[in-house]
Structure formats: structure tokens, C-alpha cells
Structure 1
Amino acid sequence: MNNSSTLWGSAVLLALTLSLWQWAPGWVGLPEYIFPTLTSTVVEAGRMWSESQLLQHSGITALEVFLGFVLGSLLGIAVGVALGLSPTAEAVLSPYILALQIAPKVAFAPLFVMWLGYTMYPKILVAILIVFFPVMINVLAAIRTVDPDMVNLVRTLNATRWQIFTLLEFPSALPNLFSGLRIASTLAVIGVTVGELVGGNLGLGFLLVASEGQGNTAGVFVAITGLTVIGIVAYAAVILIEKKVLHYMPKASRTTV
């Protein structure tokens, strides 16, 4: 399917979705306070823009997502590389990393709020925790699956350990790394939202809770839509960077999600 057909298909699907959002609630008899129509949600978005500082709250959430994603990804890359290059370190640290991953991240959010107060730091920390594992596990798996024959070949050319890593191991791990980053870009939004829902006075998560407390269903939809847009932008940014970085690789070897 060519790009033109793909764009047309996406446009038709979007138009169908928006049409159903507008008219389906009325067809099935759902009142506005249960499921607001598209026009009601757009009107509420305009009101929140002018009266509830929707742009400011969206910017704060976007900043928290960006920082949580970047810091969590860097931490995941560093730990993944370290464990991939050292089986001993992996054997020692894996149980603790697994325990951290199994522990529900929602449970950490109140603790971070107690420690750091109603600031952006608890939200960023929750995002870091959620982002860390998928990036780390993808990098670790990639480092461990590098062809040993290629490593031995580079060693015969008197390459140093750093040169082996920078010229062979890390480039080989890039496709897996970007697979993890794609997942992490969406999880970062979830992490920040959890933090804002648990304890916050700024951000789209805060607006969502405030709208829910007021019985403002349209406001809840506005907040959810804003979070979705931020997630889509983050995911698209990762794809754009991936295409720039991996342009030299055959398309068949790239992720297709």
C-alpha cells in the first residue's frame, strides 16, 4: 500500500471516529453527563483554554513526560549496557531490578509525593521507573546477542574494548534500543499521569481529577485527549529520530510497530 492510500485510509477512519463521537451518544440515548459529544468537548476545551489555563497545564505535563522519558531512557541504556557486558553484574543485580519492575509503580507515587511534595519531581520519578525497564531489557538483549564471530574478528584487528563497543556492540543494539524507546515513549505519559492523579496541583492529570470532582465529563475527555496527543507526539518523535539514526539499515531489519 502506497503512502497516499495510507493517508486516505487514516483520514477516512479519523472522520468516521469523529462522526461516531458526535452522533452515536444521541443514537443510543446517552446523556451529555455520561458521554459528551464531540462539539460539547470542543466547547469545553475552549472554556478550559481561557479559564483553566489548559495550555499551561498541558505544557507542564509535556515537560514532565519529556524529562521522565529522557532520564529513564538514559538510565535504562546505561544499566542495559553494563549488564550486557558483565554477566556477573547481571547475576547480582537482576533479582533487584526484577523486584523493582514487579512492584506496582502506582504504589511509589504517594511515597514520592510525601518525600518531594506537590512538585513535578514525583511525576518525573514515576515516569523514570516505568520507562527504565523496557529500555534496559531491550539493550541488554541486544548486547547479549551480538555475533561473537564478529567480536573475535574485530579483536584480531587489535581493537580496544571501547572500540569493540562503539563500532560493533552499540550499533548492533540500536534497532532493539529504538523498539524499547517506542514503548517507553507511551509509558512515560502513563507514569506522569499516575503521578499527577495521586498528588499534583498542575498538569493534565490534575485537570482530569478536578473535572471528575465537578462531574464535568467533557472536561475529563479534554484532559484525556490532551494526554493522548502528548503521547502521540512523543511516539512520533521517537520514530523520526529512529529514521534519522537507522537510515543506513535495511528496512526489513527495522521495527515495524
Structure 2
Amino acid sequence: MPAPAKRGPSFNDKAKTVTGSLLLLALFLALWEWGPGWLGMPEFILPRFSRVVQEAGVMWSNSNLLGHFGITALEVVVGFLLGSLLGLAVGVALGLSPRAEAMLSPYILALQIAPKVAFAPLFVMWLGYTIYPKIIVAILIVFFPVMINVLSAIRTVDPDMVNLVRTLNASRWQIFHLVEFRSAMPALFSGLRIASTLAVIGVTVGELVGGNQGLGFLLVDGEGQGNTAAVFVAICALTVTGIVTYGAVVWAERRVLHYLPKATTTTK
């Protein structure tokens, strides 16, 4: 007798999860609003949440907050896409060629070990105060997790599946497309999840080192003026950018990998 199909979480379960998450958010915001006053913490160290919201309104009107947010978002998206494509291409190439991996892996590892912050001033010297240094730093940070996940997935493909497709007279491209690449998709999206958050870090590092626009620039500007609320506004905006990017990857993963079974948990 076939096993019953597993059902996903019900509407009530989802509602409870969302409600619990919103309650935690409300608790966090309440502690942020009244906690500094209870602890006697001065405003220049930890401003209240309402003060940060007020400062966000001022920056929206006077400091072109939306424009700086858009520039940072553009740099994050471009750096994430280019770094992911590069990591995917190199991961596939090294996964299919052990000799190439043996030759190139020491240099790729050295590039990963080298601190990306050290490259940012160099890129600014080469390319000036443009968006390109920030995008390149993001590419360097995004590249490695995507590459290593794809490489590992290609190497661990079930050889029986490859042999089965070969018995059907499949070409080398068909073997890659139907077996190897599809088997690597879950690992690819795991790497993309990590890379989506790292892209924000890479862009922020570039803007902190040499930027005249973007949220990193607003962060440095607020620090220079001793405006702690402005610094928190920039941090919150960067966090929103990372959440949206991560959410986009999760949405794409669910659309692409909808055929994979989902684990379910039950409590009694």
C-alpha cells in the first residue's frame, strides 16, 4: 500500500508562524523605543526607535535617502548577479575537470583568503569614485560560496544516473543538462542564499572605503556628524536591501525547485 502523501503546513500553521514573528518584531521595537530610557542611555549612543524614524523622514527630504538606497540596491543586484554567474561557470568547469581544479584551486583559495577590504582602496584608485569598485568587491565576495557549492554538487552526482543516461545514447551536453546540472541546482541555490547576504556586505565595504553616494556613504556621513540616528537609518536600509535580495532568491528557489519533496514536521 503506497505511503500517504505528505502535506505542507496548513493555513492555521502559517498564520501562527506569521503572528509569532510579528509579535517578536513588536517586542523588539518596543524594547528599542523604551529600553534606552529605562537604562539611562544617552541619545548619541542608542537613539530611540521613534527618533530613528524621525531622522529617516529628514534624510528622505533633505539627503536624498531614496536615491542613495537605489544606488546601493543597483550595486548589490549587479554584483550579486555577476558574481553568481562567474561562480556558477567556474564551479561547473572545475567540477567537470579535476585537472583544472588541481591547477587553479590554490589561486582561487588565495583569492578567497585575501581580505576583500584590502582590495577596495585599490579598486577606488583604479576606477575612481564610481559604482564599479563596489560592484567588483561584491563580485569577489559572492563568487566563492556559489563556486564551491556548485563544484561540490557536480562532483557528488550519482554515477549510476550518469551511466543510465549514457546507455540511452545521450550526448555529453545532455548528460550535463539532464543529470549533472539538475543535481547541482539545490546546492546552487544554497550558495545563492549565502551570496545574497554577502553581496550587501561587499557593496557596503566598497562604499565605506571610497564612496560619494549610496547607503555606505550616508553611514560614514552620519558618523562624521556624530548623528547616531542617521547611522541607524543607513544600517536599517542596508538590512532591508539584504532581506529583499535574500527573499528574491528564496522565491526563485521555490519556483525552480518546486518538484523537490519538502520536509514536514508534526508535533503531538
> How much does 1:91 deviate?
0.2
> How much does 1:251 deviate?
1.2
Q: Counterpart of 2:141?
A: 130
What amino acid is the match of 2:93? A
What amino acid is the match of 1:153? L
Separation (CA, whole Å) in 1 of partners of 2:262 and 2:78: 30
Separation (CA, whole Å) in 2 of partners of 1:5 and 1:137: 37
Say which of 66, 69, 93 aligns to 1:82. 93
Q: Counterpart of 1:110?
A: 121
Q: Counterpart of 2:81?
A: 70
Separation (CA, whole Å) in 2 of partners of 1:246 and 1:105: 32
| Bigger-Rg structure (1/2) | 2
SS in 1 for 2:124: helix
Residue 252 to residue 140, structure 1, CA distance change in 2 (3 Å) = farther
Q: Counterpart of 1:50?
A: 61
Say which of 239, 242, 246 aligns to 1:228. 239
Deviation string, structure 1 residues 78-107 (Cα, Å, up to 9, x no partner): 000000000000000000000000000000
Separation (CA, whole Å) in 1 of partners of 2:205 and 2:253: 28
Separation (CA, whole Å) in 1 of partners of 2:246 and 2:262: 19
Say which of 186, 192, 195 aligns to 2:206. 195
SS in 2 for 1:35: coil
What amino acid is the match of 1:12? L
Are 1:31 and 2:42 counterparts?
yes
Structure 1, gaps ≥5 residues long: none
> How much does 1:182 deviate?
0.2
Separation (CA, whole Å) in 2 of partners of 1:209 and 1:251: 44
What TM-score do you get using the length of structure 1 for normalisation? 0.97
Separation (CA, whole Å) in 1 of partners of 2:162 and 2:258: 24
Q: Counterpart of 2:111?
A: 100
Number of corresponding residues: 253
> How much does 1:52 deviate?
0.2
Separation (CA, whole Å) in 1 of partners of 2:108 and 2:221: 35
Q: Counterpart of 2:27?
A: 16
Say which of 183, 189, 196 aligns to 1:172. 183
What amino acid is the match of 1:89? A
> How much does 1:252 deviate?
3.6
Structure 2, gaps ≥5 residues long: 1-8
Residue 233 to residue 22, structure 1, CA distance change in 2 (3 Å) = same
Separation (CA, whole Å) in 2 of partners of 1:117 and 1:198: 11
* Percentage identity across paired residues of the two chains: 77
Are 1:41 and 2:56 counterparts?
no
Deviation string, structure 1 residues 22-53 (Cα, Å, up to 9, x no partner): 00000000011110000100000000000000
Are 1:155 and 2:166 counterparts?
yes
What amino acid is the match of 1:184? A
Divergent runs of 4+, >3 A: none
What amino acid is the match of 2:135? I
Q: Counterpart of 2:197?
A: 186
> How much does 1:237 deviate?
0.3
Separation (CA, whole Å) in 2 of partners of 1:252 and 1:175: 14
Separation (CA, whole Å) in 1 of partners of 2:67 and 2:183: 41
Are 1:3 and 2:14 counterparts?
yes
Separation (CA, whole Å) in 2 of partners of 1:194 and 1:40: 26
Separation (CA, whole Å) in 2 of partners of 1:158 and 1:96: 37
Say which of 210, 214, 238 aligns to 2:225. 214
